[in-house]
């Protein structure tokens, strides 16, 4: 668990690949008094990620890395994280798998949000897979990241009901609304707040 020292917020980085709606909700949360974290860095593997715009609007530093050169890139990221004194990482729609080496360096300090009720539907295309299996419920999970994909300790989950005429798109929207509430709640829980 990450420990809070004094009244200083824990400096955090959010890793994104796309829209960044979870990033947006995390930034909003981080600005509240009750938030134990501040967001000091946005990292993306995608130079066209819409979420990067949030960096400029909110005056948060952003960096784009080419993850194809995995090992080298991760070392560069580790340097940048150290430089910015980052002590917590929130993955939010980040579509690259981090190496075991990277994860070990930040053990217990990397969180992820996943659009399913883990351990069901790890990996991609979660909503379609839930629909294909005629699930009655789906949802989202915030969990610690370990070296196995979507398998770290679960922090919090939120269930949503799948309606009769649900489509992959409508389910994704419904789950996303809950994701935006769940991630801040999970962060509070990590800090026992
Ligand atoms: C979210 O559904 C997240 O759970 C998944 O990718 C989506 C990212 O959305 N991993 P956004 O970029 O936060 O809007």
Does ligand 1 come within 6 angstroms of the Cβ of 176? yes
Provide mean pLDDT across the span 171-182: 98
Residues identified as active-site: 114
Residue 52 included in any domain:
yes
Q: 50, 115, 121, 125: which to mutate for ligand 1, most atoms within 8 A of CB?
A: 115
> How confident is the model at residue 5, as a pLDDT?
56
pLDDT range class, residue 113, cuts 50, 70, 90: very high
Q: How far is the CA of 105 from the centre of ligand 1 (A)?
A: 24
Does ligand 1 come within 6 angstroms of the Cβ of 139? no
pLDDT of 144 above 80: yes
Residue 108 included in any domain:
yes
Count of domains forming the chain: 1
Q: What's the pTM value of the predicted model, to 2 decimals? A: 0.95
Q: How far is the CA of 78 from the centre of ligand 1 (A)?
A: 23
Residue 111 included in any domain:
yes
Residue 5 included in any domain:
no
Residue 88 included in any domain:
yes
Residue 57 included in any domain:
yes
Q: How far is the CA of 17 from the centre of ligand 1 (A)?
A: 9
Residue 140: name the closest of 164, 162, 159, 168 by CA: 159
| The pairing of beta strand 154-161 with beta strand 137-144 | antiparallel
Residue 38 lies in domain: 10-190
Residue 3 included in any domain:
no
Residue 31 included in any domain:
yes
pLDDT range class, residue 2, cuts 50, 70, 90: low
- pLDDT tens by residue, 122-131: 999 999 999 9
Q: Looking at the CA of residue 23, tell me the nearest atom of ligand 1.
A: 13
- pLDDT tens by residue, 68-94: 777 789 999 999 999 999 999 999 999
Q: What is the CATH number of the domain that holds 96?
A: 3.40.50.170
Least reliable range by pLDDT among 54-63, 67-76, 163-172: 67-76
Provide mean pLDDT across the span 53-68: 94
């Amino acid at each position: 668990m990450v420990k809070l020292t004094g009244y200083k917020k824990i400096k955090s980085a959010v890793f994104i690949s796309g829209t960044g709606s979870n990033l947006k909700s995390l930034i909003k949360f981080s600005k509240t008094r009750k938030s134990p974290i501040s967001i000091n860095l946005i990292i993306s593997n995608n130079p066209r990620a819409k979420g990067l715009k949030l960096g400029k609007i909110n005056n948060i530093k952003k960096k784009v890395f080419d993850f194809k050169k995995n090992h080298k890139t991760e070392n560069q990221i580790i340097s940048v994280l150290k430089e910015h004194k980052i002590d917590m990482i929130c993955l939010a729609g980040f579509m690259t798998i981090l190496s075991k080496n990277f994860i070990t360096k930040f053990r217990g300090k990397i969180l992820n949000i996943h659009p399913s009720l883990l351990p069901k539907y790890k990996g991609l295309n979660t909503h379609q897979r839930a629909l294909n299996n005629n699930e009655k419920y789906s949802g989202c999970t915030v969990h610690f990241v370990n070296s196995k994909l979507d398998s770290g300790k679960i922090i919090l989950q939120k269930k949503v009901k799948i309606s009769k005429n649900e489509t992959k798109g409508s389910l994704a929207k419904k789950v996303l609304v809950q994701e935006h509430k769940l991630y801040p709640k999970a962060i509070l829980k990590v800090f026992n707040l």
